[in-house]
Structure formats: structure tokens, C-alpha cells
Structure 1
Amino acid sequence: MRSALGHWNTGLGVYLAACLAFAAHAQEAKPSAEAKPSAEAKPNIVIIGTGGTIAGAGASSVNTAAYQAAVVPVDKVIAAVPEVKNIANVRGEQIFQIGSESFNNQRLLQLGKRVSELLKQKDVDGVVITHGTDTLEETAYFLNLTLKSTKPVVVVGSMRPGTALGADGALNLYAAVVVAASKEAVGKGTLVVLNDEIHTGRDVTKTNTFKTETFRSPYGPLGYIVEGRVLLYRLPARPHTVQTEFDIDQIKALPEVHVAYAYGDMSRTAYDGFVKAGVKAIIHAGTGNGSVSEFIVPVLKEVRSKGIHVVRASRTGSGVVIRNGEQPDDKYDWLVVDDQNPQKARILMALLLTRTNDSKELQKLFWKY
């Protein structure tokens, strides 16, 4: 009986062979002059690989949810989509090869600083980042707030590995390059492209564990990619990139901010653990409108008395948390998010704490971003 590793190697081998065969076939086809502009006319796009499902492989073509992530190098991922060369001059750069659940602050900063370096180069017109879907929204929100460039930055992933029937990664990557190479994407902040949709990094979130239409924004996508065309129907309304006070080049470390998830009969264990670990703020992912149970209220008051900020968010996934609604936030000196979900509130709070520790100013900035 073959080992699981043997099955996986077979799947990867089939995937890579198919990629090379497809690339060879595409080279034989003679594209029209319109579909393949001159090298001088095409923008230069750098595709940064960080791993994830888009770089994954399964043991067989029917493994769409059971597979090994982050095993296919970014150059191989690009080779599977030869059509991108008709859109732009592309080159790959591998910075990580991990599942996105393993992203941490250090890797987030490393990625952001490298993207910033690339955007400063005259021979780079845009950047595409291949990323696992688990924390893709957090990375996109962070880059949306910290990059100081109007050049397009697009984060892309997939829900199925390239070895699977109905794999979505190749078309997602093609669409991401189309967007990054377009004039329409200039000055729109960090964008997220999957499933033919264009989302702003601020709003988008993962909503399903396996469906290809998992990424949604509460206000809908900014637009679509249709037959290689970028169609935008709305624009980001909140400050991003060059409009913010956060500069990735100036950030050396992020303050520790963690999330405590509320539920019936919850205990104070998580809060005590975070306090002991020396966090600067705790995001309370409350029920409903950021509710706090009667037996957790004194715990959060105690947390704040130690100089640690308490931020009320909601575990529901969407909606605005109302200040002084469920709790007397003014009295307790707690903060509330606007419409940021807990994981995005963590990103924003960490950045805010690099600028100020004043609670009143912090609250204003939550409402701003």
C-alpha cells in the first residue's frame, strides 16, 4: 500500500506535468496582436509567493479540501498560467512557503516591507501576492493601511489546490494580474481578487470553509473581472495607503493585541492569560452588538485598570458596534470598533498603538478607518 506521501508526490507530479504541457500548448498557439502587446507596452508585475492553497497539491484530482498546502513554488504556479504573459511582464519571488494560518506579526512586517521596496522601483508597476485564504483578509487590511504607494497591490488565493478538478487558482491568478496591470486599480489601495470579484482589503472576509465564493464584503465587491476586463462599480470610501498615518517603512514592531471570543458560560481564563503575557490591548469578540456578560464586565474593568485597552467587537461577522449601547463605554474607558470584525480590529488596533495610547484619540481613529 502506497504511503500518503507517495500519493501526494504522484498528485504533485501530475499537476506539474499538466502545467508544463499546458504551457507548451499555449506557446504553440499564435496570439493576436491585440491579445499580446509588445514587451515595451506591457506593465511589469512582480508576483510574490507566500504559500497557501494556491501553492498546494493533493493526492488525487478529487481532493478539493484534503491536500498539502504551500508545496508548489511560485514560479511553477505562474508557469501554470502562461496567459499572464500576454497581460504583463511577470516575474516571481518566493518570500514564504507557509499556510496562512502561520502568519504572525514578524512575517506580516517582512512581507509589507518587501512589497514597499518593490513599489519604489521604477521598473515595477504593480505587485500580486499569492496567499493562503485563512488570514488573507488580515494581510490585505494591513497592507491597505500601511503601504505608501498608489501602484496596484493585489492579494490572491484559491480554495482548491491546482491538482483538483475545478481548481480555481489559475483563473484567480490570471484575474489578479489583469487587475494589477490595469489603470483602474491605480490608487484604490490593496485589493483582493478571487472568484471573478474585486474587493477592497478593508471590507473583505472569508465566510465559508470550502466554497470558492467564500470571500465576501458586507457592501459587495468593488467590481468584477469579465473576459479579461476590469469593471469597477464602487470605490473604497475609507482612508488607505497614501491617505493614512501608518507607514510600513517606519514600523519596526507591532504591539501585542489579541482576541478573546465570547460565548455562553465563558470564563476569565483567556483575559488573565493575555494580561499575564503583557498585551497592550484585548479585542473582546462579543455576542450580538459586542455584548459583555455580567460576569465578564468586572474582568474587563480590571483589565482596563491595568492600562490595557479593551475593544468591543462582534463575533457576528458584520455590523457596527454602538458606543455606549450594550455597555457604558465612556464610564469604563473602553473602545468600540466601527464595522471591523475581530481579526481586522486586531490589525487596526496594533497599528493605532504605534501612533497613540490615548483612548479618546484611539476611538476617533477606529471611526475613521
Structure 2
Amino acid sequence: MHRILAIQTGGTIDKCYPRSIGGYAFEIGAPVFEKVFARCRVNLADIRAISVCKKDSQDIDETDRHELANECLRAEENRILISHGTDTILETAEYLADRVEATEGKVIVLTGSFLPESFKDSDADFNFGMAFATLQLTPLDQAGVYVAVDGCIALWNQMNRDLQSGKFHIVTR
């Protein structure tokens, strides 16, 4: 098994809606991939987890992306999983591709979900599983920034999102 750095940025995947504030607002707590991997019996010994920010992806800004890129560059691990909100996942993936992938030989996979991990019918487990498999199977000579969501896995620039349906799909050229 490869050593993996798992980075939390927030997004719907990490949201919870505590009853103490009436359910109209959300909080982002501990990274949910720890719960998902424990539930799915993934060996956590080879995964280092950190949090760069805890924001809705619409609130992630240039400063957050800069810090995320720096964490990827500083990482000893060459396989990195990033939990992110789906609204701006492609923008962050492009930012990282411009700053990290070409010079560092790292496989970076961003994933998110349309429903919080804590919701019964969430797509979080499936998307984390796809991202984790991508990290395991992608050879370092195919390093780059990938997005894994909606049953699709592709390099960031081969992924698109239909703004009407919200669904991601692989761009065919």
C-alpha cells in the first residue's frame, strides 16, 4: 500500500447540521474520510490526515488554494487525496495542476459529494472509494491532478460539469 496524504478543505461532503442551531446552518468538523475509511476497513496506518480549511467550496479563495498547493508541494507522500466541495472542485484542480503536478510527480485526486457523508443516501463513500482506488492504481509516470466524482475519474482538464443537472462527466475529444 502506498503512503497517502488526505487533505480536508470542507465542502458538502464534510458538512453536518447540528440540531443545536436549528438545522438552518452547517458546521464542518473533523475530516469525514476518517469515518468512511474506518467504516470501510481501510488500513489507516498509511494515511496521514490534515485540514487546510473547513469551508464551503464557494468560499474557498486564492489564499486557501495557495495553502493547499503548498501542502501538496511540501508533502513527502506522492499520492494525495483532497476532499472538496463540488461547486469549485474543477477550479481548485486547475490551480493545483498549474502549481504542483508538472514538477512534483504526484498523483492528486480531488473528490466531493452532493450530500453530506452523514446523510443516509450520500454519495460520499462511493466517491471516496473511487478516489482511493485511483490513488492506488495510477502509476507515478501518469502523475497529475484527477477528479473522482459521479462515477467518473479523469484528469481535471478532461472533466466537465453540466450546470443544469450538476452532474460531472468525462469530456470526449
Same fold (TM over 0.5): yes
Alignment of 1:101 onto 2:58: yes
Which consecutive unaligned segments of at least 5 residues does structure 1 have? 1-41, 61-65, 221-369
With the length of structure 1 as denominator, give the TM-score of the two structures.
0.41
Decide whether aligned partners of structure 1 residues 105 and 184 sit closer, same or farther in structure 2, where only a CA change above 3 A counts: same
Are the counterparts in 1 of residues 12 and 116 from structure 2 also a CA contact under 8 Å? yes
Equivalent residue number for residue 2 of structure 2 = 43
* Greater relative contact order structure (CA < 8 Å, 6+ sep): 2
For the residues of structure 1 that align with 2:61 and 2:119, how far apart are their CA atoms? 29
Shift of 1:209: 6.5
Alignment counterpart, residue 68 of structure 2, candidates 108, 111, 133:
111
Shift of 1:91: 2.2
Shift of 1:141: 1.0
Equivalent residue number for residue 95 of structure 2 = 142
Decide whether aligned partners of structure 1 residues 44 and 216 sit closer, same or farther in structure 2, where only a CA change above 3 A counts: same
Equivalent residue number for residue 205 of structure 1 = 160
Shift of 1:154: 0.4
CA displacement 1:21-54 (0-9 Å, x = unmatched)? xxxxxxxxxxxxxxxxxxxxx1110110000011
Alignment counterpart, residue 53 of structure 1, candidates 9, 12, 17:
12
Equivalent residue number for residue 170 of structure 1 = 125
Bigger share in helix? 2
Alignment counterpart, residue 129 of structure 1, candidates 82, 85, 107:
82
Shift of 1:130: 0.4
For the residues of structure 1 that align with 2:161 and 2:122, how far apart are their CA atoms? 18
Larger Rg: 1
For the residues of structure 2 that align with 1:48 and 1:145, how far apart are their CA atoms? 18
Shift of 1:100: 0.7
Alignment counterpart, residue 137 of structure 2, candidates 182, 185, 193:
182
Which consecutive unaligned segments of at least 5 residues does structure 2 have? none
Equivalent residue number for residue 79 of structure 1 = 35
Equivalent residue number for residue 89 of structure 1 = 46
Shift of 1:208: 4.2
With the length of structure 2 as denominator, give the TM-score of the two structures.
0.83
Helix, strand or coil at the partner of 2:127 = helix
CA RMSD of aligned residues (A): 2.6
Aligned length: 167
Give the partner amino acid of 2:99.
Answer: T
Decide whether aligned partners of structure 1 residues 132 and 209 sit closer, same or farther in structure 2, where only a CA change above 3 A counts: farther
Are the counterparts in 2 of residues 128 and 177 from structure 1 also a CA contact under 8 Å? yes
Are the counterparts in 2 of residues 207 and 215 from structure 1 also a CA contact under 8 Å? yes
CA displacement 1:55-91 (0-9 Å, x = unmatched)? 012479xxxxx975551311x4322332362497212
Equivalent residue number for residue 253 of structure 1 = none
Shift of 1:125: 3.4
